[in-house]
Every structure is written in C-alpha cells, then in structure tokens.
Chains A and B, each alone.
Chain A
C-alpha cells in the first residue's frame, strides 16, 4: 500500500462519516433545499474531491516529517558546530535528550516577539516574500519521494509528478526571486544589496546545477525520481559521475545559500543581508525555511547521486533515505562552519569559468557512458 492509498482510504472514511451527518442534517430541512444538500454531499463523495484531499494530506505528512527533520537539523547543526568549535552546543534545555528542546525554546522566543513592518516598506512585497519563500521550498520538498511507496503520489497507482526532478528544481529556484522581492520591498540599502546579490548568485550556479541534473537524467533515462533511483540499484551515480557529484554539491550549497556562499545574508558586511528588516516569526520562518532548504538539498543529493532509498534490507527504504540526507546535511554543516565567505564577483567568475566547463564535461562523460551502453 502506498501513501496515496492510505491517505485516500483515510479521506474516504472521513468523507463517509461527514456525509452521513450532512445527509442527516439535510433531512430536517423542508422544501427542495434538501436536494442542494445532497448535491454538495455527492460532490464531496466524488473521486476527484477525495483525491485532492488525499494529496493535501500527503503533503501535510511530508511537511510534518520535514518539520521534525528541521528541528533535528537545527539541533544537529548546533551540536556539530559546537564540536567543531570546541564547545558543547545546546545543553541545558532538554538536558536528558542532549539539549534538543533548545530549538523549541528559541522558536517560542521568536514567536512572542513583535512582528514589525517598516513604515516605508512596500507592504505587499514585504508580506508576500516569506510566503513565496516557504511555499516554494515546501513545493520542492513535496516532489521528492522517500521511497516508491512513500511520497506525494498523484493517483492510486502511486505515480508521482511526471518529470519530478525538473519540477523540484523549478520550484527550488523560485526562492531567489522571493529574496529579491524581500530585499527590494524592505526599503533598506543592505537588503537591496542582499537581494541583488541573490539574483547575481543565481546566474552563477543555476546553469551548472541543471547541467549536472541533466547528466543524471541522461544516465537514468527519465526525469522521475523513482526511475532515477531505480537506475542506481547497482551503482550510485556518485561513483561514475564523481565530477558531477562535486559540482552538484558546490552548486547546491550556493542554491541553499549557506556558507561559503551565503552572500545575500553576509552578516559581516550587510548586517543580516536581505532579512535585516524582518523580525519575530517572519524572520523565524525564513530561518526555518533555510534549514528546510538544506534538508531538500540533502534529499536531492541523496536521490540523484547517493542511491536514494537503496541500502541494506534490514532498514526500510524511507529510513535509508533520511539517513543519507542527514549525512549530506552534516557535510554541508562542516563546510559551512569551517570556510570563509566568498566574494560576489568571485562566485560569478567561479561559476562561469570553473563549474560550467566541469558540468559540461560531466554531461559528456554521462553521454559517453550512455553511448557505451554501460547504463
């Protein structure tokens, strides 16, 4: 049974109960008004409605997994950072579970803080930017299945969004736009420089990133995550496409904007970059979503290069997937806390003169493998 069937069954059962109550209520009404009631009940009972509700439930489940993962990630990040920096990391809040509750405490603190909108800000853009940022990241996340049975499927056969990899990267690439909007609408010089940097940075990493994805899709012969992972059942793509793996790792770090590529929010030079004017839970959303994006990055690396849910049989597939994504995240954290920040002209130069040819070379290698018939 896949996740869709489970959600569909749950929704069907729920709709049945509600419909019974609905029809029972309708019986009390005189005249022809009861027919209208029945029409609504029939609409709710229709296959399409339940399917849409089931997909929403699936997204919710994946989102909850992601949120718990984000709490874990923040904790892991701080613990690992502490070990790198020679201190303990969070310790006292949730003493018996290694300071895990510190994140919740910090979240509560952000939650009760005042949410300020600058008086000269562009209100619409200022409010819309966090929404777009969070929504696009969750959208990217929801296209990545944790196993063939566990993901946001769109029908009872368990099919995922066609061309899932393309869709995921399309959704993932919306964020720089929302960063630019946030930077522009905050009406602050630091935020506008941060937003512009985000746009400039996107020019440098997006093309090599998509070229490496193209090489993976070429090897697998499909844009669907399930097919891509299935093609890695013998050997992970990280081994034949080692070059592409490294290029992808660098580009994905630039995509999620953590050090050494966190130019849009370079806190030493731009105060807090594009999030300078955001306060309270709006800032908290940005921060949480940046960790969510790190998780998505880990999931993408896992699905495209590290064999996804393939592993030894005694652990179920989704758990394998999460383990790999966590390990990738830790590697990203390692980079993040031990490297200085790169400069904006350097990342452009680096992206166009180094990553781009390497990504092209990688695409040629993938084509060669495919032509030789090894994959």
Chain B
C-alpha cells in the first residue's frame, strides 16, 4: 500500500484530550509521526498576569484535569518562594498527603485509560472504581472532586476533616490489595505483555537528550525523581523508593507507575503518622516584593516547574509554566517510528497525555 498520512485526532479515541497526532503509515507500519498540540491553548500564563496572587490558585488547578492538586500546590510553592514565606509543618504534611493521593488518583486514571487503549474494558472500570475512593477522600478534604482549590499561599485552606486519617489509612490498605489484583489482571495476561514488551523503546540517551521527565524517563532506566534529587516540602523526611525500570519500553513505563502507586501509599502512611499538631495556614501578604520565585515539583506526569516574577504589586508580572507533557510529546516521533498503527495507541498511552497543562 502507498504511504499515507493519517490524522489521529483532534477527535479520536486515542487522544485523551484535544490534540492531533499525524502519523505517516506504510500499510500498518508507522514511518513518520508529527504531534500537533495547541488546540486547548487558553492563555493561562497571560490570564495570570491580570489576577491577584490568590486568584491564580483556581486557575492553576485548571491546568490538568488528571492531577490538578499538584499544579495549585506548585503555584503556591512558587509564590511562597517569591514572598519568602515559611509554611507551617502541619500544612506541609497535609499537602504531601493530598498530593500523593492525587498521584495515586492520576496514575489510576492513566491505568484506566491505558486499559481502554489496549482494548481491555475490565481494567478501565476497575481502575476508575478505585480512583473514586481517593477522589472521595480528596473531596472530604477540599470539597470538590476534580479541581480542588485546596492549597493556599502559606498553607492549606482547611485542616483535616474528622476521621480523615482513619479513612486514608484504610484507602492505602485497600490500594495495596488492589494493586495485587491489577498485577494479576495486567501482567497475568499474555496478550498484555505481547502488546507492551519491546514496544515504544525510548533509549536512555534519547530520554536525557529530549528532556523527558517523570515516569517516562524512569521507565528508560534513569532513577531521577525531584522528590529525592531536589527535595521540596517534607519529602526529605519520608522513606520511599524511586521506581525505575531498565527496559525502556511501554511495559517499563507501566511498571514504574504501578510501583509509584505503592510508594505513594507508603508516603501517605508516613506523612499521616508524622503529622504534627499546630497551625495549617499562615496569613500571606497581599502584595509580593520585587523579585523572582521558582518552584519545581514531581508531577505524576513529570517535572512541573513554575517561575514567577513579582513587581511589587498584588499581581505577578509574569508567570511561566513548564509542562512535562509538552516536552514528552516532542519525543513521540522517536518512540513511534518503526512500530505498527496499533502500537501508536499503546505508546502514546504510556506518556499519559494531559492536554490542559500541555497547551496551557
């Protein structure tokens, strides 16, 4: 068959969100690929220049529907850096619990979407069902399900609700049990392994050179995690492993995320055990001084970074957002070329695309 370009997107079941992957195929084999993002560009960075500092927190939430809490947390961290604020230890611990729950919820959503990408409907519904437990906990914590608007500059909005520690520990135990079930369902299926092993190889050097971060990079055998290598919040006190896998393929990225969920549950347990009493919020000044602030977090999808420039007023002069997926998706052609059309779905599925933060 002659070579032809196929548009996978903007409306296509493979694209979780609104983006376009142009694929040049020769029969079933991919010979060229060209990702095209920007359909969801909302000008978040520009909008932020016209809002006061606290008003930006909900906007930062809207950056990613999969893990909104990490982005508002990142924003608050950045502004705290700009304002030189000290966050109370209780608030830091609550934040760590919340963002690790968000990480589990985000990875479960990825697992669900990935199962559908491979045509396994059972995995989708199981993962979505278990995500609901963490969503419920976050709802108890913050009052909403997707966009939490929970962190504040200098702390968090509320203290822990009653019985939260008990419920969170139960959820962690449940999660450990369910992870075993997922491993039976996914790793136990030969078809799943056939579809994943040796597919979408991103070599170690390529991953470094292309600036890929997060589980995708750790799946290429580089144990780089900001929580360990550039610790923020109270992560230095936590005892956890950085998941990495040397295989560089889709299966490696899948394994990394599964291990990360287990480690997140561990971190939640430790943070709850070490939770100090005291204030959960300090009052932040309305205006920020002239200067710059920078924040980096390990988003579920990679390294998220924000850079804020204050000009002495109550609005930022400039807010720059570094999206992990925007970088990862540029590495797509490297991973896609040479594989089959069906593998496109698997490979792009393991990147865990979130268009909100990519297009900003």
Bound: A269/B25 CA distance, A? 13
Residue on A with the closest CB to B349? A268
**A156 sits at the interface (CB 8 A):** no
State which of B12, B28, B118, B121 has its C-beta within 8 Å of the C-beta of A85: B121
Q: Which listed residue, B1, B4, B119, touches A268 by the CB 8 Å rule?
A: B119
Most chain-A CB neighbours within 10 Å: which of B117, B126, B191? B191
Contacts of B1 in A (CB 8 A): 196
A345–B28 contact, CB under 8 A?
Answer: yes
Partner of B118, one of A263, A271, A340: A340
A163 contacts the other chain (CB 8 A): no
Q: Is the C-beta of A157 less than 8 angstroms from some C-beta in chain B?
A: no
Chain B residues with CB below 8 A from A266, complex form:
119, 342
Question: What per-residue 1/0 map shows which CB atoms of B174-192 lie under 8 Å from chain A?
Answer: 0000000000010001011
Q: Is the CB of B342 within 8 A of A337?
A: no
- Bound CA span A343–B195, Å: 7
**Residue of B191, B194, B342 ringed by the most chain A CB atoms within 10 A:** B342
Interface size on A, as a range, is 20 to 34
A339 contacts B4, CB within 8 Å?
A: no
Name the residue on A nearest B123 (C-beta).
A340
Contacting residues, chain A, for B343 (C-beta < 8 A): 343
A270 to B343, CA, bound (A): 12
User: Is B337 part of the contact surface with A, judged by Cβ < 8 Å?
Assistant: no
B120: interface (CB < 8 Å): yes
By beta carbon, the residue of chain B nearest A190 is B6
Contact of A337 among B117, B122, B189 (CB under 8 A): B122
- A189, A271, A340 interface centre (most CB from chain B within 10 Å): A340
* A145 contact set on B, CB distance < 8 A: none
Q: A262-B119, A338-B120 are in contact. Are A343 and B4 (CB under 8 A)?
A: no
- A339 in contact with B341 given A86-B125, A193-B28, A267-B13 (CB within 8 Å): no
User: B194 and A337: CB pair below 8 A?
Assistant: no
Q: With a CB–CB cut-off of 8 A, which chain B residues contact A346? A: 194-195
Residues of A within 8 A of B185 (CB): 338
* Interfacial residues of chain B within 117-143, with CB under 8 A of chain A in the complex: 117-122, 125-126, 129
Please indicate the chain B residues that have their CB under 8 angstroms from the CB of A343 in the complex: 194-195, 340, 342-343
Chain B residues positioned under 8 Å from A268 (CB to CB) = 13-14, 116-119, 345
When the two chains form their complex, are residues B344 and A269 in contact, meaning their CB atoms are under 8 A apart? yes
Shortest beta-carbon distance from B351 to chain A in Å? 15
Q: Which of B1-40 contact A (CB under 8 A)?
A: 1, 4, 6, 8, 12-14, 25, 27-28
Q: Is B109 an interface residue (CB 8 A)?
A: no
Which chain A residues lie closer than 8 Å to B341 at the CB level? 193, 269-270
Roughly how many angstroms separate A262 CA and B194 CA in the complex, as a whole number?
16
A84 within 8 A of B: yes
What is the bound-complex CA distance between A128 and B298, given in angstroms?
56
Q: Which of A86, A259, A262, A269 contacts B129 (CB 8 A)?
A: A86
Which residue of chain A is the closest to B120 with respect to CB atoms?
Answer: A340
Asked if B96 is an interface residue, CB under 8 A from chain A, the answer is: no
Residues of A within 8 A of B118 (CB): 268, 340-341
For A271, list chain B residues within 8 Å (CB).
12-13
| In the complex, chain B residues whose CB is within 8 Å of the CB of A87 | 125
A342 located at the interface, meaning its Cβ lies under 8 Å from any Cβ of chain B in the complex: yes
Enumerate chain B residues within 8 angstroms of A259, measured Cβ to Cβ: 119
Q: Does B308 contact A (CB under 8 A)?
A: no
A260 part of interface (Cβ distance < 8 Å):
yes
- A67-116 interface (Cβ within 8 A of B): 81, 84-87
Residues on A with beta carbons closer than 8 Å to the beta carbon of B189:
339-340
| Complex Cα–Cα for A262 and B121 (A) | 13
Query: A200 — nearest CB in chain B belongs to which residue?
Result: B28
Selected from A189, A196, A340, the residue in CB contact (under 8 A) with B191 is A340
**Alpha-carbon distance A271/B341, docked complex (angstroms):** 12
A344 is an interface residue with CB less than 8 A from chain B: yes
Contact of A339 among B28, B120, B125 (CB under 8 A): B120
Give the residues in chain A near B6, CB-CB below 8 Å.
Answer: 189-190, 193
Interface 1/0 per residue, A248-285 and B, CB below 8 Å: 00000000000110110011111100000000000000
CB within 8 Å of A: which B75-127 residues: 115-122, 125-126
Contact present for A84 and B122 (CB under 8 Å): yes
Nearest residue, chain A, Cβ from B25: A193
Pairwise interchain contact A337-B121, C-beta atoms closer than 8 A: yes
Residues of A327-369 contacting chain B, CB below 8 A: 337-346
Can you report 6 residue pairs joining A to B where beta carbons are below 8 Å apart? A85-B121, A85-B126, A268-B14, A269-B14, A269-B342, A271-B12
Chain B contacts to A: CB under 8 angstroms: 1, 4, 6, 8, 12-14, 25, 27-28, 115-122, 125-126, 129, 185, 189, 191-192, 194-195, 340-345
Q: A268-B118, A269-B14 are in contact. List 11 more A-B contacts (CB 8 A).
A: A86-B129, A193-B6, A193-B341, A262-B119, A266-B119, A339-B119, A339-B191, A341-B119, A341-B342, A343-B342, A346-B195
